[in-house]
Amino acid sequence: MSVKVNDYLSASEPEKYKGVSKQFVMTSSDGLEAVILTYGALIEKLIVPDKDGKPGDIMLGLKGLDEYMASGANHGSIVGRSANRIAGASYEIGGVKYTAPANDGPNNLHGGKPSYQNVFWEGSVISSDEANAMVAESGIEGIAGINDEAVLLKYTSPDGACGFPGNLDTQVLYAWTTDKTLLILYRGVSDKDTIFAPTNHAYFNLGGHNSGSVKDHLLMIDADKVTNKSEFNVPDGTYMDVEGTIFDFRTPDRVEKVLTLDHPQTKNALGVDQNYCLNTEPGKFLCISTLEDPASGRKMETLTDLPGMQIYAGNHLGGNDQKGDIPYDKYYGICLEAQMYPNAVNIPEFASPVIKAGVPCYHACGYRFS
C-alpha cells in the first residue's frame, strides 16, 4: 500500500507551518492505519479493528497542531534524546560534567526544549526495499519483513541542546510489517560521545481513545523486577522483585491493581509510573508484553530489544484539548514505553545509554495487533 502525505496546519498560523508540518497516512495491506505527524514525529491516530471487524482509533491525541505544540503530555511523540528522568539533571561522560534543564522537580525529564518531542522533523516516504535495508543494517534480529511504503523522519539535535553534547543525527522509521506490527526503528549517530535513549510516548486505549478508563485492560509484562524510585520518582539504583507485589504482571492481570496510591512507589506518582526490567536480549526483537481489552477483543503485543519499559497510566491526563468529544481523565490511557532504564547515565550497574562518537546505534520497538 502507498502512503498518503498531507499538509497539517496550525489553526492560528497556517501559513507559517505550510511545507513544514506534514501528515503521513500509512495503511497496511491488512487494513491497519497509522497517521504520523512531523511535529514530534508523533503517532496521531492508530486505527485497529475490534472483534467484530469495526475499526477504531486506539491512540489518545489532541485536536490539532496548536494543541500538540502547547501540550506537555507528549501524546504519541518520540521523546529524547534522553527519555525519562536524569537525577539532579546532571551527569558525566568521559569525566566531563554536563547539566540539563531541571524541568521535573530537581530532575531532567525527557530532555527539555528543544528535544525530539517539541520540534519539527523532516519526513519522507521510502520504499519497502529502503525500509528493509535499514532494518538489515540495524542488525536487530526478529523483525518481520516490510512489504509496503514506510515513513522516515530525520532530525539533528545540535551540540549543546539542553546541555547534551554532540550533534546527534537521528532517524526514526515507521513501517507496517508483514505480521501486523507497527515498527518504530531508531537510529542515532553523534560526533561526540552522548546519550541516545529515545522512546515513544503513545497513550493506548484498546477500547478506543475516548472509551474511558483502562483499568479493566489485561496486562502481561515479561519482567521479574522493577527499578525502585526515590521520592522524586527517579530510579535510585536498587530493584524490587515483583513476586507478591502489585507490580507482578508475569501473568495477565487487570491494570487497576497498580492504579493505587497506597504503595510507596505509586503514591507520589499518583498511580503507576514504573520502569520494568524486561527479560530481553540485546540485538533481539522479542515480545515482552501483551495488552488486551476484553470488551473490544483487541489485543496488542509490544516487542523490543531495549532493556526497560515504563508503564504509565496517564495519571495526570485532563483538560479539554482531546481530539474526541469526551475529555480525557486520569487512567484513560496507558503508555508502554520501551526504553533504556531511567537515570542509567548515573548508575553504572544499568546498561549505559551513552553512544560513542561516530558509531551508529539502533533500537527498535513494535506494537503487534490481533
Active site residues: 201, 337
Q: How many helices (H) and strands (E) does the chain have?
A: 3, 27
What DSSP string runs through 226-238? Answer: EEEE-TTSSEEEE
Give the C-alpha separation, 232 to 177, whole Å. 39
Separation between Cα atoms, residue 347 and residue 20, nearest integer Å: 39
What one-letter code names the amino acid at 138? S
**Which are the contacts of 133, defined by CB distance < 8 A and separation ≥ 6?**
none
Residue 128 DSSP label: H
Cβ atoms of 271 and 259 within 8 Å: the answer is: yes
* CB-CB contact of 20 with 153 (8 Å): no
Q: Which residues contact 43 (CB under 8 A, 6 or more apart)?
A: 34, 35, 36, 59, 76, 174, 182, 200, 202
The SS3 assignment for 64 reads: coil
The partner residues of 174 in beta bridges, in order of sequence, read 151, 184
Q: Which cell is 124 given?
A: 519522507
The sign of the dihedral angle between the CA atoms of 68, 69, 73, 77 is positive
DSSP state of 197: B
- H helices of the chain, where? 65-70, 128-138, 264-267
